[in-house]
Structure 1
Amino acid sequence: NLAFVLIAALLVVYGEPLAAGSGIPEIKCYLNGVKVRNVTRLRTLFCKAVGVLFSVSGGLLVGKEGPMIHSGGVIGGGVPQFQSLSIKNFKFNIPYFRSDRDKRDFVSAGAAAGVAAAFGAPIGGVLFSLEEGCSFWNQSLTWKTLFCTMTSTFTLNFFLSGTLDHSWGSFSQSGLLTFGVFENCHLWTLVDLIIFILIGVGGGLFGMVFNAINTRLTIFRLKYLAKTHKIARVLEALLIGFLTTVVAFLTPLWIGQCRAILDENSNSSLQRFLCPPGQYNDMATLFYNDQETAIKQLFHHSGMHAWTLGLFFIFFFLLSCLTYGSSVPSGLFVPCILCGAAYGRFVSSFLIFLYFQKIKTHIYLGTFSLIGAAAFLGGVVRMTISLTVILIECTNEISLSLPIMVTLMVAKWIGDIANHGLYDIHIFLKSVPLLEWEVPSIAKSLTAIDIMNTRLKFVYPHTRVRSIVNLLRTTAHNSFPVVTMKLPEIESKSKLASANLRYRLVVSLPQIFYSCFAVVNQEIISYEKFNEDYPRFTDIHEMNFDDLNLNQIMVSGLDVTPYMHPCPYVVHPDSPVPQVFNLFRTMGLRHLPVINSRGEVLGLITRHNLTH
């Protein structure tokens, strides 16, 4: 186990640190409009896909579904570019899909395809991208994403059916995670619905505690482990792997109970451990099987003692909370489903114990296990619509839609009382300027002038190359207002003419350096030339000026008017912050100039101003 965990940790720590965790927070930030470095690189995909294989094989309490979502996003972002930054010579200058908006749409479709492949839920994948990912959506993106998820589900089903059952074309495997056939799952009453609501309350409380503990662990890792030598993070992963192996071995030995095998159909997945022939160890059956098989045991087979279920829930809760956030690729969906299934199964066992004669005849243990899984998963990640559809598509039982919806809503409401979903917590701890659906309550009474940045750097329509080079070298801004020259006797501030992005200025400089054209006969760079190196443009500090005649070049003029945005979005200083927030969120903005009624530039608003 430790050898496999070591490989997974080395791939993350020394290969690509962004491959740690599920990758869903990073994909969510990218689709929100935030530029996350290396999130869609081929190296990240390799470390994530290979690392999660060794994480799962090493016995860590992680899932592979979350990393599949990130992997799908990487594939979606890389395929239409027809190039790789990790493989230097692999590049095709195809002029299509070379903009942030196009790439964002492909990443969104790829992430949805990852959900569809993991759970066999094409519609759930579309709703996942809509609910958790994209902040700007349109009808065209809906059917494109649905086509992508449908293709992903079809492809996986075709190859899984052929390789596992040797029945090519039968489509018997809808996804990597299947919950089996639920028998008599429609037998729930109004009284049961009330119990499901209480299970949702418990799931929200458990999710609240799970997120609070993991927040403390993440703060500790960011404060101490992230600043120490890389080997410390590798040793932490090995320590977690060792602790998980010890618990998985000792709990069946000390706590597990030997029970008679009553169902011959489930004999293959029951673990005998040290029990006599014809019996199995219930705790070993949960720990020694893979997590998908353990979930099916809780959903469909009896024979688990309530004492075993309760202790398994506690140990699995703590170990999975400890594991998520360490330096290994790790998903969260399946561990939460298994932990919640044990919780729901414990509740049903407790009810049978209290009211054996009255309710045993109609209680179906699998229904309570599924509701418990939905409650705990909803309490941790705080998703509602997409998670409901994903669970319904996994179970193939529409009759459970109402209990699942009610449980998820209650779990989310209870959990939101104390903290946010785990993905949002990790985004917040990394100080990523993510724009949520709603404007922060503290900013509702503010206006644009209260949050704007007044320390601006300007660009004039016709300026010296020396000024542009000094500006780019001394600042890290990605957008510069293009202003007209002010008249000292008339105007107090420069008037906004347009806005220009950093990469456009950088790309336009070599044209001046290597041709030394004057401003009157400056050659206009084409749109295809601008986007030729997308998405990694040359940095100003990487340009070599040693062999150039700097005296002649630096005094040359540069006309930026062909490359500037002629009609940027602007706001008045008295505009309310909720209006500014909606502009950023719905239009995918990164910068927003603030001008007065005379067109004079007063400041600039960025995502950082809206989130800090």
Structure 2
Amino acid sequence: MATDSIRKCWRRLFSCLSFNRNSNETVRVPLLRSSQHGGHNVVSNKDYESLDYDRCWNKPYLDYRERYEKQHSDRKLEILQWIMTFAIGFLTGMVALYIDLIVKLLSDWKFGTVDKSILQCSKDGCLVISLLYLLLFNVAFVIVAACLTIYEPVAGGSGIPEIKCYLNGIKIPRIARLQTLVAKSVGVLFSVAGGLFVGKEGPMIHSGAIIGSGLPQLQSITLKKINSKYSYFRTDRDKRDFVSGGAAAGVAAAFGAPIGGVLFSLEEGSSFWNQKLTWRTFFCSMAATFSLNFFLSGIDSNSWGYFYLPGLIDFGTFECQSEKTTGCHLWSAVDLFIFVIMGFIGGCLGAIFNTLNKSLSLHRMINVNPKHKIFRLLEAILVAMVTTTIAFVSAMTLGQCRKIPLKPSIINSTRSSVELTVRDYFCEDGYYNDMATLFFNPQEIAIKQLFHQAGTFSMPSLAIFFILFFFLACWTYGVSVPSGLFVPSLLCGAAYGRFVALFLEQVFGYKTVYSGTYALVGAAAFLGGVVRMTISLTVILIESTNEISYGLPIMLVLMVAKWSGDLFNEGLYDIHINLKSVPLLEWDPPTEAARMKAKAIMDSRLKVVFPQTRVASLIRLLKTTAHNVFPVVTAARDDCSAVTLVGPSQEADLQEQDDVECFVNQNNSNQDGDGNPIELLQRNLPMKFEGMILRSQLVTLLKNHAWYKENVEVCSISIRPFLKL
């Protein structure tokens, strides 16, 4: 009877752990957010923990693998992986399509209304009405974006630092929830349409990562009815690989750069990589690129089946055209020396940008975020109002009238299409306002103008635009709205590059310069100085421009920009990771680690689990500690084995373990216990390390009520088979 009882207990315990793989997140949250228990402090959200990327090779897992392999072949699992990879890429492309179309509708509605008002008020002298119209649109849009971010704070910003930490193995709360995806994808519509100097490309990377994390699980924590019995890809290890593919798909959909997306995920995101993951990530990027390309091209021209719009941003085709010189070339060997100087200056400008943004972010963390949520909303409204007012006043008063080019520089464009993207505020027929064209167009259109329209911008307008955009974009990044950094940095850098081109031409008489190339190099220099990316950014820009000849100058300027920027500070993403105190594990250890001892990084507050313990002790441990794994120990005694016994000595074992736990709490945490600390300290009880047990396994045991009443059940179950040695 005793043997049958033990077997029955073992089967019950084994069934609890084989394997509700996702249960750790579902059950763990209430344990962490519960009120204080027994005088212990609840762990704050800043106490980050690691994800379980390693497989726990214990007896239950080996038994689970044996049963799983009998039911499902490796080929079936591989086919499902590829199907899920395609689905992630396709859905990421559809999210990008939805974002692009809605942003265009909102922007056309806003600019159409404001343009009519300006055209009427330019004659009647009532431009204040036009400004009020613009303020009404922008503030209303920004309020929606800010409210969504306040509801789901992790949706703020670009999300790239958080995804980088997730792929590094750090658990960021709510980073991959469905609510986060909705808040991110909807909020970025209104933050971009609201006139803030932000981009939608960064949030696309976060959105793709969320899709990659959630879709393969075939279940949702938010929508609890979605819970498939097929739990193929619910481990942290599986989700990590799909998140890498989703992030790459986001880059591919944003820039039409599938190879660049793979390299971005490799260089900036993933800390774990293998050959199979490379192929799946590339396939996911291609699926996102061409699904978006198919629908975007069809909707744009109503000619389905033609792929000519690969991404959300289209830089156009570069073709050297100059109205003043003949024999124009995209770039020459002499230009490379100038590009090196531009890269150095771009890195320094990026370092200044990062320093200012770090100071602003610290101010927000100290003076804005701890206060009521309304202050974050008011800050977003203030930024929107100041940005709108400065852009409007600058466009109306500081712009210069320039002649609309008779021969458009943008390939496949006509004079009529060019006139649709320029603003002729207070200018005669055939002329347009260069400052208004930069401020009163979507940022992608403004970048395209700077890349291709030769001789259409004045040096004062470019200088003023660069300075204003630089500081306003720096102020905006970090506000409680979904915001990207790529496109604002490209636009700011493109203005810097065009200014350098005009400076060389007008001051030094350098007539062979092609301003579009300098605008592209300036964009790469400034963006590289801000984010400090090299390989992936080079490939992204080459794929976006469809011009392989730019490979050398872009690579050169990005390397110089990174080197010069690194002299002063880190990239902006790394700065924000450090501000949030996320323990990111870098590729190389810091220099001071060579002199560091193990005791300097070990936690002095010892938290252990015994092979046989009370439920109250486990609940208290889970409530007060956020560790994802715990060492399992036994008290080493001379009179009996360290293995938990079955039978009369059960009560004695539990009592001794209570004494040890009391000693640990008293000695390490300065908390009161029921035992005699002095006596325990004198005994100096040694403990024997038996192995480790995961938090998810403990939570699963508690969830399934796998416990027995003391002194009633003769069954005593050791957790030794679950230990990871």
Please give the range of the TM-score, normalised by the shorter of the 2 chains: 0.7 to 0.9
Change (3 A) 1:253 1:511: closer
TM-fit CA distance, 1:447: 3.5
Aligned to 2:461: 308
Cα 1:552/1:221, change in 2 over 3 Å: farther
| Number of the residue aligned with 1:609 | none
**Counterpart residue number, 1:124:** 260
Q: Which residue of structure 2 lines up, in the alignment, with residue 239 of structure 1?
A: 382
Counterpart of 1:354 in structure 2 is 507
Distance in 2, matches of 1:191 and 1:464, equals 77
The residue type equivalent to 1:156 in the other structure is L
Supply the distance in 1 between the matched residues of 2:375 and 2:295 (Cα, whole angstroms): 40
Residue 608 of structure 1 aligns with which residue?
none
Specify the code of the residue in structure 1 equivalent to 2:472: L
Counterpart position of 1:295: 447
Give the counterpart of 1:200 among 315, 322, 343: 343
Question: How many Å apart are 1:209 and its aligned residue?
Answer: 0.5
3-state SS of the aligned residue for 1:227?
A: coil
- C-alpha separation between the residues in 1 aligned to 2:186 and 2:598? 47
CA shift in 2, pair 1:466/1:51, >3 Å = closer
- Of residues 679, 688, 701, the one that matches 1:508 is 701
Match of 2:306 among 167, 170, 175: 170
1:103 counterpart letter in structure 2 = K
Could you tell me which residue of structure 2 aligns to residue 272 of structure 1? 424
2:490 matched to 1:337?
yes
- The answer as to whether partners of 2:690 and 2:720 remain within 8 angstroms in 1 is no
Structure 2 CA distance for partners of 1:313 and 1:470, relative to 1, 3 Å: closer
Any conservation in 1 of the 2:319–2:330 contact (CA below 8 Å)?
A: no
Aligned-partner Cα distance in 2 for 1:171–1:315: 37
Matching of residues 433-448 of structure 1 within 5 Å: 433-448=583-598
Instruction: Give the corresponding residue for 2:529.
Output: 379
1:560 aligns with 2:703: no
Residue 551 of structure 1: how far off its partner (Å): 5.7
Output one character per residue of 1:250-286: Cα deviation in whole Å (capped at 9) or x when no partner.
1122210111222362222111011111110000011
Aligned-partner residue type, residue 386 of structure 1: S
Give the aligned partner of residue 37 of structure 1: 173
Q: For residue 101 of structure 1, what is the amino acid of its counterpart?
A: R
Tell me the alpha carbon deviations over residues 386-420 of structure 1, each in whole angstroms, 9 at most, x when there is no partner. Answer: 00000000001111111001100110111111111
> 2:547 maps to what in 1?
397
- Equivalents in 2 of 1:267, 1:205: separation in Å? 36
Gaps of 5+ in 1: 517-549, 568-612
1:86 deviation in Å? 1.7
Query: 2:248 aligned with 1:112, yes or no?
Result: yes
Residue 141 of structure 2 corresponds to which residue in structure 1? 4
Partner letter of residue 415 of structure 1? G
Please tell me whether the aligned partners of residues 635 and 685 of structure 2 are also in contact (alpha carbons under 8 angstroms): no
Aligned to 2:282: 146
* 33-42 or 270-279, which deviates more: 270-279
Tell me if structure 2 keeps the 8 A contact 1:337–1:374.
yes
1:169-202 deviation per Cα after TM superposition (whole angstroms, max 9, x unaligned): 1101111111001013953222210100000011
TM-fit CA distance, 1:203: 0.4
What TM-score results when the alignment is normalised by the length of structure 1?
A: 0.83
Question: What letter is aligned with 1:231?
Answer: I
Change (3 A) 1:513 1:101: closer
Distance in structure 2 (CA, Å) of the matches to 1:281 and 1:507 = 66
**Equivalent runs, 1:256-267 vs 2, <5 Å:** 256-263=399-406, 265=415, 266-267=418-419
Query: Which residue pairs with 1:540 in the alignment?
Result: none
Between 485-494 and 66-75, the greater mean CA deviation after superposition: 485-494
Given that 2:329 and 2:514 are in contact with CA atoms closer than 8 Å, whether structure 1 keeps it comes out as: no
1:330 counterpart letter in structure 2 = S
Residues 492, 300 of structure 1: CA spacing in aligned structure 2 closer, same or farther, 3 A cutoff?
A: same
384, 389, 395: which one pairs with 1:252? 395
Distance 1:393 1:94, change over 3 A: same
Task: Check 1:474–1:308 CA distance in 2 against 1; reply closer, same or farther (3 A cut).
Answer: closer
Distance in structure 2 (CA, Å) of the matches to 1:207 and 1:307? 22
Question: What is the CA distance between 1:457 and its match in structure 2?
Answer: 2.1
Aligned partner of 1:82 in structure 2 is 218
1:9 and 1:384, CA in 2 relative to 1: closer, same or farther beyond 3 A? same
Q: Structure 1: which amino acid aligns with 2:197?
A: L
Q: Distance in 2 between matches of 1:279 and 1:190?
A: 36
8 Å CA contact 1:52, 1:330 repeated in 2: yes
| Alpha-carbon separation, structure 1, partners of 2:529 and 2:405 | 35
CA contact (8 A) 1:345 1:369 kept: yes
Q: Aligned partners of 2:343 and 2:269: how far apart in 1? A: 25
> Does the 8 Å CA contact 2:167/2:271 hold for their aligned counterparts?
yes
User: Residues 173 and 562 of structure 1: is their aligned pair in 2 closer, same or farther, counting only changes over 3 Å?
Assistant: same
Q: Is the 8 A contact 1:18 1:44 kept in 2?
A: yes
Shift of 1:94: 1.6
SS at match of 2:171: coil
Please provide the CA RMSD for this pair: 2.0
Task: Read off the aligned partner of 1:125 and give its amino acid letter.
Answer: G
1:437-516 mapped onto 2 (5 Å cutoff): 437-487=587-637, 493-513=686-706, 516=708
TM-score by length of 2: 0.71
Q: Tell me, in whole angstroms, the C-alpha distance in 2 between the residues paired with 1:77 and 1:169.
A: 31
- Determine helix, strand or coil for the equivalent of 1:504: helix
Amino acid at match of 1:332: L
Per-residue deviation at 1:474? 4.5
- Paired residue secondary structure (1:497): strand
Query: How far 1:363 sits from its partner (Å)?
Result: 1.1
Distance 1:486 1:315, change over 3 A: same
Closer, same or farther in 2 for the Cα pair 1:169/1:553, shift >3 Å? farther
Does 2:575 match 1:416? no
Stretch of structure 1 that moved more, 21-30 or 503-512: 503-512
Q: What stretches of structure 2 of length at least 5 have no aligned partner?
A: 1-137, 321-327, 408-414, 641-683
Equivalent in the alignment of 1:406? 556
What is the identity, as a one-letter code, of the residue corresponding to 2:630? F
Greater shift, 371-380 or 501-510, is seen at 501-510
After TM superposition, list the pairs within 5 Å mapping 1:206-245 onto structure 2: 206-245=349-388
Counterpart of 2:437 (choices 285, 288, 295) is: 285
Q: Output the CA distance in 1 between the equivalents of 2:702 and 2:720.
A: 14
Question: 8 Å contact 1:465–1:554 — kept in the other structure?
Answer: no
Aligned equivalents of 1:555 and 1:340: distance in 2? 74
Moved more, 70-79 or 436-445: 436-445
Deviation sequence 1:571-606 (CA, Å, 0-9, x none): xxxxxxxxxxxxxxxxxxxxxxxxxxxxxxxxxxxx
Distance 2:366 2:714 in 1: 48
AA matched with 2:687: S
Change (3 A) 1:467 1:328: closer
Separation in 1 of the partners of 2:595 and 2:191? 48
Does the residue aligned with 1:483 lie in a helix, a strand or coil? strand
Partner secondary structure for residue 635 of structure 2:
coil
Distance (whole Å) between structure 2 residues aligned to residue 186 and residue 42 of structure 1:
50
The 3 A distance-change label for structure 1 pair 205 and 498 is same
* CA 551–488 in structure 1, closer or farther in 2 if over 3 Å, else same: closer
For 2:445, give the aligned amino acid.
Answer: T
Measure the CA separation in 2 of the matches of 1:461 and 1:485.
10
In 1: Cα distance, 2:616 partner to 2:431 partner: 83
Deviation at 1:454, TM superposition (A): 3.8
